[in-house]
Homo-oligomer: A and B are copies of this chain.
């Protein structure tokens, strides 16, 4: 049985609305029809398993639905028989998630948990690389993988990008990525970008033994085209790609993963609209399960003190979500903390995510705009993580770590 928890908000009856989800999403219809027997219903009908009452809502999440009385809230567990849904994720999405938001009578509705049964074990490939593969390919152990982003987001020609990338490579950074908004526009076709950047990566590897992981933006609406992009990167010796998972969709992700030789770095743009209103949509812990089963290796989940709307608590919960096994350890994704990150957030990130260094720590301006240049920026971030792990305040550690000191001086108003 697939168990889904819905946070229901209604001016009507919680019990009736819970039953309505169960009925609408399995056997129900608006009038009884011939052939609809009890036996049939019982075999495939969804069932309300439990109701946990919450405090009333102050106001309705969906403004068009206003009742006169109090607005009740509850977390309702509904069980969907495996026989009715099967293990196809698009079927699960349609039955347990897709259909519910059209139901009348709610003033808010949010999917807050999803428990998949054992029958899903082994059906999907999951991450091909994940934490272990990302560590192996970057050669980084015992500290976070440190990454940066090529800026500006849009507008550099391939040779200009490659020039910046050259500087970033020699900074000692472990990971570099295209901005998620950069795929293959006319001024920077992926083919030319790969051709300009990969020789620098390989040359550096040749000289130092260190291969920087570069994530190229290969997303494309046409999966055949996306595979050609994938092949371009792989054949040039690249090992990673940024995927805009929401824009391409679940099917294209499944298609890619079946054929992929690259680490798949997921950018979740488009997700915020599904989750930013706390009374509507779905929690990241639900949504990420789909994408991890489909094969996301590295999952961008914001970070502490980000420049976006997401509160720190939500990031912490996301971090826990992607690192909690669904069926086995290997189905976890490597969490990627990013957005407005420099070294300053290292102590709190470390403290609040179970004192682990198993993450990719992504700093854009935080590395590139360091007063001493990118190499000093990378050293500053590394020093911040050393301090965090050793429980030494950044200010103290900065006394004999000048790059961290410079970083604190420049970015100190942000983050910690």
Q: What residues of chain A have their CB less than 8 Å away from a CB belonging to chain B?
A: 25-36, 40-41, 43-45, 59, 61-65, 83-86, 88-91, 93-95, 97-99, 101-104, 106, 151-156, 160, 163-164, 180-181, 183-187, 219-224, 226, 244, 246-255, 258, 267, 269-270, 272-274, 276-282, 294, 307-311, 340, 364-365, 368-369
**With A31-B369, A59-B59 known to touch, is A219 a contact of B91 (CB < 8 Å)?**
yes
**With A102-B308, A155-B40, A254-B222 known to touch, is A276 a contact of B33 (CB < 8 Å)?**
no
Q: Are A364 and B94 in contact (CB under 8 A)?
A: no
**With A and B bound together, what is the CA distance between A233 and B164 in angstroms?**
52
**With A33-B152, A269-B98 known to touch, is A62 a contact of B249 (CB < 8 Å)?**
no
Q: B residues within 8 A CB of A86?
A: 183-186
Q: Would you give 24 A-B contacts (Cβ < 8 Å), ordered by A?
A: A27-B153, A29-B152, A29-B153, A32-B369, A33-B369, A44-B155, A44-B185, A61-B63, A62-B276, A63-B278, A83-B187, A86-B183, A90-B244, A91-B184, A91-B247, A93-B270, A94-B183, A94-B246, A103-B309, A220-B251, A223-B252, A224-B258, A252-B255, A273-B282
Q: B residues within 8 A CB of A255?
A: 222-224, 251-252, 255
Query: Quick one: copies of this chain in the complex?
Result: 2
Task: Tell which of B44, B91, B94, B180 touches A94, judged by Cβ atoms closer than 8 Å.
Answer: B180
**With A and B bound together, what is the CA distance between A310 and B103 in angstroms?**
9
**With A34-B368, A91-B183, A223-B255 known to touch, is A27 a contact of B63 (CB < 8 Å)?**
no
Q: B residues within 8 A CB of A294?
A: 221
Q: Are A28 and B368 in contact (CB under 8 A)?
A: no
**With A and B bound together, what is the CA distance between A102 and B275 in angstroms?**
10
Q: Closest residue of chain B to A97, judged by CB?
A: B270
Q: Are A155 and B273 in contact (CB under 8 A)?
A: no
Q: B residues within 8 A CB of A63?
A: 59, 61, 277-279
Q: B residues within 8 A CB of A93?
A: 244, 246-247, 270
Q: B residues within 8 A CB of A163?
A: 35
Distance of A97 from chain B, by nearest CB (Å): 7
